[in-house]
């Protein structure tokens, strides 16, 4: 795997950083992205990975195209994309606004598609590449106060299938992982409630929270080690939650 170029969106911390570290451990050259307002965190993460940090706001498809072009200009190739950047708004469905809905879909689904599209233009032309989308168990099952988020991640699961079918003839594999609730900066408020932690761990057959490293290792396997014949799969990383 040494020398393969991997692009991981939203990777200054949490699941994205864990994915980047797992890929780096397999010898990948790393490019990570973050929002302009998180430049310092992105630069620090990139330095720890001996990688490159780029600014990217997935709400703008033109930025996604420029980001991929920048990677190819600098490295001459792009073999792995991890579509990790995401937004979550937890609110009762009856209280969701148009702005709430669009804020989630614009990054989690629309933004993920256009970044995958930009990467796949490179990958399909060279007939090699792997894309791993970060979905969620809430793209597979329902949950209260997550209507916009669940819709975006459910859409991402089916987008993964569609792109896998369309790009398989070009030797480009598209898969996804569906993590259980994972302790990251994004879930800090939720997991500060002991009752919430107890409910999640009690409902998880493995009896513990998902770690970012659990997700990173699964992503690295799909991006590097999994047989090329595996495509269109959404792999739950959930300690058995969806197997119940």
Catalytic residues: 149
Rounded CA-CA distance 215/199 in Å is 21
Task: Copy the structure tokens of residue 97.
Answer: 């606004």
User: Do residues 17 and 11 make contact, with C-beta atoms less than 8 angstroms apart?
Assistant: yes
Identify which of 66, 72, 65, 82 has the alpha carbon closest to the alpha carbon of residue 8.
82
| DSSP label of 232 | S
Distance from chain centroid for Cα 170: 22
Distance in Å from the first CA to the final CA of the chain? 36
Rounded CA-CA distance 146/92 in Å is 7
Task: Copy the structure tokens of residue 6.
Answer: 């991997």
Identify which of 82, 105, 73 has the alpha carbon closest to the alpha carbon of residue 9.
82
Residue 188 — left, alpha, or beta (φ > 0 → left; ψ -120 to 50 → alpha)? alpha
Task: Copy the structure tokens of residue 34.
Answer: 């973050």
Radius of gyration (C-alpha) of the chain in whole angstroms:
17
């Amino acid at each position: 795997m040494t020398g393969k170029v991997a692009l991981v969106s939203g990777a200054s911390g949490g699941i994205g950083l864990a994915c980047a570290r797992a890929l780096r451990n397999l010898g990948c050259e790393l490019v990570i992205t973050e929002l302009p307002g998180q430049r310092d965190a992105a630069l620090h993460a990139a330095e720890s990975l001996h990688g490159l940090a780029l600014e990217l706001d997935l709400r703008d498809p033109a930025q996604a195209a420029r980001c991929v072009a920048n990677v190819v200009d600098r490295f001459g190739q792009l073999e792995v994309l991890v579509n990790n950047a995401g937004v979550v708004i937890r609110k009762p469905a009856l209280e969701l606004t148009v702005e709430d809905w669009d804020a989630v879909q614009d990054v989690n689904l629309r933004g993920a598609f256009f970044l995958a599209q930009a990467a796949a233009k490179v990958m399909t032309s060279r007939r090699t590449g792997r894309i791993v989308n970060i979905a969620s168990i809430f793209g597979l099952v329902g949950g209260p106060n997550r209507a916009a988020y669940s819709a975006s991640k459910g859409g991402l699961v089916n987008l993964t299938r569609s792109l896998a079918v369309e790009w398989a003839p070009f030797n480009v594999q598209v898969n996804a992982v569906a993590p259980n609730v994972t302790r990251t900066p994004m879930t800090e408020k939720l997991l500060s409630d002991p009752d919430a932690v107890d409910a999640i761990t009690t409902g998880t057959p493995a009896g513990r929270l998902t770690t970012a490293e659990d997700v990173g290792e699964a992503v690295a396997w799909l991006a590097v080690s999994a047989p090329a014949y595996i495509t269109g799969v959404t792999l739950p990383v959930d300690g058995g939650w969806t197997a119940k």
